[in-house]
Amino acid sequence: MDRSFLSHAGVVAASREFVCIRPSTYESAKEAPFLESLFRGRSGNLENTVFAILAPDGRTRLCRTGRSPGFAYSSPDDMARAMQQILRKYPGTAPANTTLPLLPDVRLAINVAACDSTPLAILYAPDPATRPALEQKLIGLAWHKNLVGRLQYCVATKPGELKSLVATGVRPGLLVVQPGAYGTGGQVVTSRLPGASSEDLQEALQLGILLSEFQQKVMRTHVARGRQLGINWTTAIPVTDPGGRRRP
Amino acid sequence: MINRLLPALLLLYSVSPVHAADAPGRIAWFGTLKQGLAVAEATKRPILLISAAPHCNGVSGIW
């Protein structure tokens, strides 16, 4: 991803008024056709990244779609200005911060958290009745000015979903996970029961953020070391990017 | 291990020049099309979309 655009202060500020969606490419057969409809590379296939700005209907394109923001905008400043213009036309009728932004499952969520060098917050609710109250508190925290965008979130309902985690005596509630460098597992660094207060949950999330701040990655060394370690991520559907094929 | 390190980490946090409140902002992403498109439709807000593969040539943990 092009971080020079997506970490730009003006783009981040404007993003708070957008609904920001980041599907994981090649991780859903259902999502792939939609992504392909937005952009196919020279090979005619879905490539590793797809970029678009769309109207609220999810169909109308509001910029040139492509592989990255650089296909549509000459600079991050240009993108920030364009986003503000779009907001004047589509100001929204309700806030978007009343929903917990979720990843689809624990396995992928650990990997995404590792990619972002952020902690993962798992709402572990084997009993569906325990989910709503805890989720409501987490929604408030996920969009809190000190925490917004700084964690990933997912839901687990079965113990088997947590098998890649290092943890002892896991109980339902909030699990804050520090992902391993390669996102194939993680460690529960702290947890809270479903009845925990918002303040207590926030403390747990902030501890996770603190621990993740010590992680740094350099693409070249990360990949080289990963190959030495035999890391080989299995995607849900075949990788079709000409430059991104998995090793046999 | 974490419990043993916790006091030191909290101390480090308390004296760290960069707290969460001061740290550069990050975009908050919905991780699935289904959820994100539903929120956009319900709130009539525009969509910023970027899809990315969470691996590099099969090595996970990096975009």
Question: Structural domain boundaries of chain B?
Answer: 2-60
Does residue A112 share a domain with residue A82? no
Residue A99 lies in a domain: no
Q: Residue A168: its pLDDT value, please? A: 82
Residue contact B57–A206, C-beta within 8 A = no
Q: Computed from CA positions of residues A193, A151, A241, A63, in that sequence, does the dihedral angle turn out positive or negative?
A: positive
Q: Which of A175, A231, A190, A152 is nearest to B60 (CA)?
A: A231
Whether A40 and A122 share a structural domain: no
Nearest to A12 among B26, B36, B55 (CB): B26
Locate A79 and state its tokens.
């993108």
Cα dihedral A194, A175, B25, A104 in deg (nearest 10) = -100
**A83 and A110 together in one domain:** no
| Low pLDDT (below 50) residues in chain B | 10-22
In angstroms, what CA-CA distances link A180 with A87, A107, A138, A177?
Answer: 38, 12, 23, 9
Number of domains in chain A: 2
Verify whether the Cβ–Cβ distance B61 to A68 is below 8 Å: no
| Tokens coding A175 | 């699990």
DSSP-derived pairing of the beta strands B47-51 and A50-54: antiparallel
Q: Verify that A135 and A74 share a domain, yes or no.
A: no
Domain region containing A42: 3-89
Contacts of A2 (CB under 8 A, 6+ apart): A68, A69, A70
Residues 11-40 of B with CB under 8 A from A: 12-13, 18-21, 23-37, 39-40
Which residues are within 8 A (CB) of A206 and not within 5 positions of it... i.e. 6 or more apart?
A146, A147, B13, B20
Three-state DSSP class for residue B60: strand
| Per-residue pLDDT tens digits for A34-88 | 999 999 988 899 999 999 999 999 999 999 999 999 999 999 999 999 999 999 9
- What's the pLDDT score for residue B14? 46
Query: Is A221 inside a domain boundary?
Result: no
Residue A71 in any domain: the answer is: yes
pLDDT for residue B15: 42
Query: Per residue in A9-40, pLDDT tens?
Result: 999 999 999 999 999 999 999 999 999 999 99
Looking at the partner chain, which of A13, A22, A189 has a beta carbon nearest the beta carbon of B51? A22
| Residue A155, helix vs strand vs coil | strand
Whether residue A135 sits in one domain with residue A40: no
Is A61 found in the same domain as A122? no
> For the segment A149-189, what is each residue's pLDDT rounded down to a tens digit?
999 999 999 999 999 999 888 999 999 999 999 999 999 99
Q: What is the pLDDT of residues A192-244, one digit of tens each?
A: 999 999 999 999 999 999 998 877 788 889 999 999 999 999 999 999 998 86
In a domain, A233, yes or no: no
Do residues A72 and A161 share a domain?
no
- What's the CA gap between B37 and B47, in Å, rounded? 8
Q: What is the CATH number of the domain that holds A184?
A: 3.40.30.10
* Angstroms from A172 CA to nearest CA on chain B: 20
Residue A187, Cβ density class (10 Å: 0-12 exposed, 13-18 middle, ≥19 buried): middle
